[in-house]
Structures are given as structure tokens and as C-alpha cells.
Amino acid sequence: MILYFYPRGAGTGEGNNALLGSKDLHLVNITPNLDPQKATIAEGIDYVADHIEEGVNCPVCDQHVQLYYRKLNAQMASVAIAMYRVAGGDWVHIPSLQMLRADETKLRYWGLIEARPDDERDDGSPRTGWWRLTWDGIQFVLGNLRVQNAAVVFNGECLRLDGPLISVREALGRRFRYDELMGRAA
């Protein structure tokens, strides 16, 4: 089934004289009484932009389009601390840390870590597991830098940071103790 965008009411008997430039769009199935030439790519882009927060399939390429809000969480902060303890600002193979992992590479959204450049596996993938803390990452781990608590992500790229500023201790919350992770007596 092919879907086209039409200004609300166009070709539906609900005000067939609607302006084509209207941003009030909806999806309709193609039927013989609807002219596919009424829709423009610009109207499709406007529709996607209007629905990107809750998610929508792009009418042009059918890709799911959505903004994701990723919080800097306790697990990410604990991996940053482990990276600092093991390697300081040098390269570390994160899988070798043998920690419960899932989101640690998202620390790149805040500019706290960076992947080793020009590195690839035998199969050509750039996902080698080698990362290092940036200067900001080190400062965050040491408690000298606060960052916004959320990254707004689209298509795997950080568009902006959002939310209140948090420290490494605030990111750790009650789940971890900073002094213990840093190897200090409490």
C-alpha cells in the first residue's frame, strides 16, 4: 500500500478547497479520486518534523524517525570511573573491564569519551571496543565538570544536550558509591 500526504480535507470531501501549503497534514490511502501531485516533499518534511517527538515513519523513505532522550545514568558514570582508574586518559578496551555494560559508548554524546580513530576489526567494523576518556571525561570523573543530564539523539547522533547540570556523584545516584569506585576509603 502506498501512502501520500495531503493537506487536511483535500480530496476527502471535507473542504476540497484546502490550501496545499497547509501544515495540517494527514495520511490517506491512494484512491482514484486523489491526485498524488498534491503532496510535496516539503509537506512530508513538515509532517515528520511535527511528529518527531513521538515518532513517525517517514513518508519518503519509510525510516522510523524519532528523537530519543538518553539520560547519563549510573552505569555509564561507573564505566567512566573504571576507564579512568585503568587507563587515565589512555586507550582502554571497554569489554576487558568485565563490567555490566550496555550504554557506556553513549558517553560520546556528552563528549566524555572518544573511539580510537582509524581502527577496525577483521570484518571491517569500526566497533573495536577501544575508547578513551576525553579531557572533559577526566574532569567529569574527578568531579570538576558538570554536564547536562540528557542527550537528545536522532539517528545515532547527538543533536543537543538537555536538562539540568549533574555531577558524576549525582549520575551515580544511590546505586554506586563514588569513593569506593575511585578506590578511596569512604
Q: How far, in Å, are 49, 96, 171 from residue 41 at the CA level? A: 12, 47, 42
E strands along 8-88, which residues? 25-29, 56-57, 64-65, 68-71
Model-wide pTM > 0.75: no
Mark residue 13 as left, alpha or beta (left: phi above 0; alpha: psi -120 to 50; beta: remaining): left
d(CA 186, CA 178): 9
Task: For residue range 72-106, list pLDDT tens digits in order.
Answer: 999 999 999 999 999 999 999 988 887 766 688 99
- The label of the residue with cell 558524576 reads 168
pLDDT of 111 > 90? The answer is: yes
SS3 140: helix
Q: What is the mean pLDDT of the chain?
A: 77
Task: For residue range 148-179, list pLDDT tens digits in order.
Answer: 999 999 888 999 999 999 999 999 998 888 88
Q: How far, in Å, are 31, 42, 48, 76, 84 from residue 112 at the CA level? A: 52, 37, 31, 10, 11
